[in-house]
């Protein structure tokens, strides 16, 4: 399974592409950060993010997209930009006809490190180790995007099987 993970941000949006199967270390395909200038018009920043993510989806042809779920922050202005970037990320996957799943930061941390309260340094260290990299991915936005992709590979596959079984049971059929 090839997953494109997106750590949404308006100024810096991390994107990581990982290939793998649940329970095994994944293979790094690539990672990127899409930048925009804070003093640019918001419409142009969102358009740049949309076209950049669309290009990365087309280039890497992922099987699915994993996006970090926006959580409440104290700074309303920051959370608004993150929410807008998150919507663009979800749209990029949807537009390509791909399944899109969102994960909270603590879900991602727990999947990658075993602790939902792990710090950024611990997440980056584990991503580096799990993907067998010589050096940590920089900046942290890229490492977070790779962690999202790993989380989806490990948890998303299980989640998809559970949802498929539930749908089958609702239809009255049992799949073996």
82, two tokens: 């993150």
Which pLDDT value is given to residue 162?
57
Per-residue pLDDT of the chain (176 residues; tens, 9 = 90+): 999 999 999 999 999 999 999 988 899 999 999 999 999 999 999 999 999 999 999 999 999 999 999 876 666 777 888 899 999 999 999 999 999 999 999 999 999 999 988 999 999 999 999 999 999 999 999 999 999 999 999 987 555 555 555 555 667 765 55
> Exactly one of 55, 63, 68, 134 is catalytic; which is it?
68
- Tell me, yes or no, if 141 is annotated catalytic: yes
User: Considering only CA atoms, which of 136, 139, 112, 113 is closest in space to residue 124?
Assistant: 136
User: Considering only CA atoms, which of 114, 93, 110, 102 is closest in space to residue 152?
Assistant: 102
37, two tokens: 């200038």
pLDDT tens-digit series, residues 80-111: 888 999 999 999 999 999 999 999 999 999 99
> Exactly one of 39, 63, 141, 144 is catalytic; which is it?
141
- Tell me, yes or no, if 68 is annotated catalytic: yes
The answer to whether residues 89 and 8 touch, using CB atoms and an 8 Å cutoff, is yes
- Tell me, yes or no, if 37 is annotated catalytic: no
The answer to whether residues 12 and 81 touch, using CB atoms and an 8 Å cutoff, is no
Q: Tell me which residue has tokens 């920043």.
A: 45
């Amino acid at each position: 399974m090839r997953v494109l993970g997106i750590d949404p941000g308006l100024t810096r949006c991390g994107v990581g592409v990982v290939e793998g199967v649940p329970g095994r270390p994944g293979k790094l395909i690539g990672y990127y950060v899409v930048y925009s200038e804070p003093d640019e018009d918001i419409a142009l920043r969102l358009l740049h993010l949309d076209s950049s993510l669309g290009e990365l989806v087309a280039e890497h042809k992922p099987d699915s997209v994993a996006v970090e779920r926006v959580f409440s922050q104290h700074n309303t202005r920051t959370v608004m930009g993150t929410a807008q970037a998150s919507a663009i990320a979800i749209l990029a996957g949807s537009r390509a006809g791909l399944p899109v799943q969102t994960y909270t930061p603590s879900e991602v941390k727990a999947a990658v490190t075993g602790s939902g309260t792990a710090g950024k340094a611990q997440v980056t260290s584990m991503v580096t180790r799990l993907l067998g990299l010589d050096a940590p991915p920089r900046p942290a936005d890229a490492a977070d995007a790779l962690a999202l992709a790993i989380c989806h590979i490990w948890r998303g596959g299980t989640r998809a099987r559970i949802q498929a079984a539930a749908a089958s049971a609702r239809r009255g059929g049992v799949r073996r």
